Chain A
Amino acid sequence: MAVEIPKVAYAGKIKEIPLGREGNTITVGGESCYPFHLFEGAMPHPPKIAMEVYDRAPEDWPDTALEPFADVAGDPAAWARKCIDTYGAEMIALQLASTDPNAENIPADEAAAITKKVSDAVDVPLIVFGTSNVDKDTEVLKAVCEACEGKNLIIGPLSEGNYRAIGATAIGYKHTVMASTPIDINLAKQLNILLGNLNVPDDKIIIDPTTGALGYGLEYCYSVMERIRMAALVQEDERLQFPILANLAKEVWKIKEVKLSETEAPLLGDQKKRGILMEAMTAQCVLLAGADILVMRHPEAINLVKESIQDLMIRGEG
C-alpha cells in the first residue's frame, strides 16, 4: 500500500558560517530541513562538537570528568592539544572561568594572554567563553579579540547588555560572535536584529539560546531551539536563520546526579557511565532540536554523540 509522505515545505535555509582561521575553516549551518529530516531536505554540514578547555585547573568537577584531563589541567594550551591529538576534537571551547568576578577575577589582559596561547597552540576553530558577567565579559572579550586578531574566534556570550561593545570589537578584528539570550525566541531574534544593526556581518553570528541540563530545564531550551528552527525554516524569520550553539557540558557536570557515587546512590548505577550518558543525552536532545555546535566535555560522551550524528546522517534501509 502506497504511503504518501507528508512533507514540510521549507521556505528558509540556515546560513552557512565558516568558523576558524582562513585556510582551515569548518563550516556549520546550511540546513534546509529540520534536524536529520534527510528525507525532505539537506544537512550539508553535520553538527560539530567543541571540546571544553578551562583556563585553570577545575576545582569542582567530579573525578569522573576530570580523569581524562588530569595530566593537562592547569595548562590550557596542553589541554587543548590533548583534546585534538588524543581525542580528535573538531573544535575547542575555551572557558575563561577564572575571569569570573565571583571567583579569581583575573584581569582581562591575563585572560587574553591565555587565550592567545591556546589559539596559537591549535589550528581548529576556537570558541572563547566569558562567564556571563556583562561588564567583565566586555573587558575580557575585547582584549581577547585584540590579542587574537585574524583567528576568527567565536566569542561570547554577547547579551543585550554588552553586544555593542563586544560586537564592535569583533567586527574590527574579524571574529565571529555568539549571541546569547535567556531561553526566549523573541529575545533571540531581537538580539540578532541588534547585531545586524550594529553591522556585524551575517556570516559572523552564531546563536546561543541557552541550554539546561537533563532534568534541569532541558525541556525549555529544547523547545526554544525547536521553535527557532521552525521559525527559520518555515516561517520566513530571516533573523533566526543562524546556526545554534549549545553550551551544555558545564550545565550537566555541575548537577547533583553526576556527582553522587554509586555507593551514595546505588539505584543510579555506575557514576562514570551515568555522567557520560547524562552529558551525551543532553547533547542528543539538543541535536534533535536543532543545535549545530555542541560544547562538550567527556571524551566518551563525545564519542557516543559523534556516532549518533553519524547514524542519523545515514538514511539507511531497514
Chain B
Amino acid sequence: MGLSGIEIFKKLPKTNCGKCGVPTCLAFAMKLATGKAELDACPDLSEDVKEELGEASAPPVRTVVIGTGERAVKLGGETVLFRHEKRFENPPAFTLLLSDKMDEAEISAKLTKFKDTTYERVGIVLQPAMVAVKGECKDTSGFMALVENVCNNTDAGLVLMNEDVDALSRAVKSCSNRKPLIYAATRKNAETLGNLAKELSCPLAVKGNSLEELAEISEKLIKMGLKDLVLDSGARTAGKSMEDQIIIRRSALMKKFKPFGFPTIVFPCEMTDNPMKEAMIACQMIVKYGSIIILSEMKGHSIFPLLLASMNIFTDPQRPMAVEQKIYEIGATDENSPVLITGNFSLTYFIVSGEVDASHVPSYLLIKDTEGLSVLTAWAAGKFGADTIAPFVKKCGIEEKVKHRKLVIPGYLATISGELEEELPDWQILIGPREASHLPAYLKQWNA
C-alpha cells in the first residue's frame, strides 16, 4: 500500500484524459491506491514516475499468474495479515497431484473427477484450479507422457514437479505456452532452473529446507532477474507449516522482506496418508496463507467444504456477497404456498432459505436486489423501501404463480408495511418474524 490516493494523484499527468478507463486522474489514483488498477493503464506516465509509483504501489506479496487464458490462476497480491483489515485477494489454488507412478486407470479417474468438480454458489464458480504432475520414476518417458496427457485433457493451470532437472526442463519446454509452475529450484539447481524460467517466462517454485535456505535461494533468483516466484519452505508437518507460512507473510508485509514477497506452495498430501486429515490440513492452509495447496485426491466430500472455506475466508469483508434477484422456489410449491420477500445479501438468503427449507412448508422466496446489503441497512440506504419493493413484486411474476395475495415481509421492516400496502393495493402485507430461526414456526401456522 503505502501511498494515499492524493499522494499518487500528485504524480499523475492531471489531464483527466480518460484513457485509463476512468474519467479523471483522481479516480485513477484512488483505484491505484486501493489496488484496483495497474499502473500501466495510464499511457502518459514518465518512466521515473512509473518506477516511483510502481515501487510504492506494488503489493508486498507479488501477484503471480500461473497458466493462461480463462483458467489462468492468480496468486498472491496480499496486503494484509488478517482478512478484516481489508480483504484477502486471491483464494488458494487447490491442485490435484498426479504422479507417473500411478497407473493409467487411476490417473484417468482422478482427472475426470477433477474436471467434473465444479460448483456454483452466489454466482461464483468454485472449482479446483490446477493439476500438479510429478515425475518420480527413473524412466522419464512416463512423466513426459503424463504431462502431455494432462495438457490435452484440461486447460487448468499446471505445476510440473521433478527432481530430475533434465526431465523437468524438457517437460516445461513441451508446454511452456501454458505457463506452468516449475517445481522447484533448490540450492543445487537454482541457477539452471532460474535460467529456464527466465527464458520461457514461466513462474518458478523455490524450495528450501528451512526458511533461511529458502530466503537465500529466493534472493539469488531475484538477483538473476526472476520476478514470478512461489515459495516452499520445506515444512511437511501442520505445526511447522503454520509457523513458516506466518513468518513468510509477516516478513513480506511488515519488513518488506523481498525474498519472501511471493505466494507459497504447500503439500498437505505429503503430511498424512489419511485423506480426511489431509483435507483438515488443507483447511488450515486456506486460513493461514497457503497459495497453492496440493492434494492427493479431489473427492466431492472434501473438496466442496474446502472450496466453501476458501470462499468464506476470501470474501471481501467490506463488500457483502449478493445473490441473484429472482423468485426462489423452495420445496414443492403450488398456488397456495406462502410468499416471502427479503434482500439479496447472500447470508440473508442462505439463512432464510435454510429455515424455510427446514420448515418443510414449500414457499416462494422473493429475493430483491439490495446490492448485497442486509435488510435493515438496505432499508436505511433506500434500497429496500416500499417504492422499490412494489415494482419488483409486480414484475417478478409471482402474481402468476400464486392465487392468494399475501406477502410476508421481514419483521424488522414492519415500518414499511403501511406504505407497501398503499403501493401494492392488491396485496395484504404480513409481518414475518424478526429472527429467521422463528420462520419454521411462523410458516407452519401460515394459511393462504
A residues at B contact (CB < 8 Å): 1-6, 36-39, 60, 102, 132, 212, 214-220, 222-223, 226-227, 230, 254-257, 265-271, 273-274, 276-278, 280-281, 284-285, 288-289, 300, 304-305, 307-308, 311-318
- Which residues of the other chain, A, contact B438 by a CB distance below 8 angstroms? 102
- Which residues of the other chain, B, contact A289 by a CB distance below 8 angstroms? 287
- Which residues of the other chain, B, contact A219 by a CB distance below 8 angstroms? 83, 312-313, 315, 317
Q: How far in angstroms is the closest Cβ of chain B from A273? A: 4
- Which residues of the other chain, B, contact A313 by a CB distance below 8 angstroms? 239
In the complex, the answer to whether A280 meets B280 with C-beta atoms within 8 Å is: yes
Given contacts A218-B312, A254-B354, list 19 more A-B pairs with CB under 8 A.
A1-B215, A60-B358, A102-B438, A215-B312, A216-B351, A216-B354, A217-B350, A267-B300, A270-B300, A273-B302, A276-B276, A277-B280, A281-B309, A285-B283, A285-B287, A288-B287, A312-B238, A314-B239, A316-B237
Question: Is B279's beta carbon under 8 Å from chain A?
Answer: yes
Q: Which 10 A-B pairs have the closest CB atoms?
A: A269-B300, A269-B301, A274-B301, A311-B238, A1-B216, A102-B441, A219-B312, A223-B84, A215-B308, A273-B301
Number of A-B contacts (CB under 8 A): 181
- Which residues of the other chain, A, contact B276 by a CB distance below 8 angstroms? 273, 276-277, 280, 300, 304
The answer to whether A316 and B239 touch (CB under 8 A), given A217-B347, A284-B283, is: yes
The answer to whether A254 and B358 touch (CB under 8 A), given A215-B312, A219-B313, A304-B276, is: yes
- Which residues of the other chain, A, contact B303 by a CB distance below 8 angstroms? 269
14 contacts between A and B (CB under 8 A): A6-B254, A39-B247, A217-B350, A217-B351, A226-B84, A269-B302, A269-B303, A274-B302, A277-B279, A304-B276, A314-B237, A314-B239, A315-B240, A316-B237
Q: Which residue of A lies closest to B321 (CB)?
A: A219
Report how far A308 CA is from B285 CA in the complex, Å: 12
The answer to whether A274 and B83 touch (CB under 8 A), given A1-B216, A102-B441, is: no
Helix, strand, loop or mixed for chain B's interface? helix
- Which residues of the other chain, A, contact B251 by a CB distance below 8 angstroms? 3-6
Report how far A113 CA is from B312 CA in the complex, Å: 41
Q: Which residue of A lies closest to B360 (CB)?
A: A60
- Which residues of the other chain, B, contact A311 by a CB distance below 8 angstroms? 237-239, 281
Most buried by B among A4, A277, A305, A313: A277
In the complex, the answer to whether B309 meets A214 with C-beta atoms within 8 Å is: yes
In the complex, the answer to whether A256 meets B357 with C-beta atoms within 8 Å is: yes
Question: Is B243's beta carbon under 8 Å from chain A?
Answer: yes
Q: Which residue of A lies closest to B308 (CB)?
A: A215
The answer to whether A277 and B312 touch (CB under 8 A), given A102-B438, A102-B441, A254-B354, is: no
The answer to whether A38 and B305 touch (CB under 8 A), given A280-B280, A312-B238, A314-B237, is: no
Report how far A226 CA is from B85 CA in the complex, Å: 11
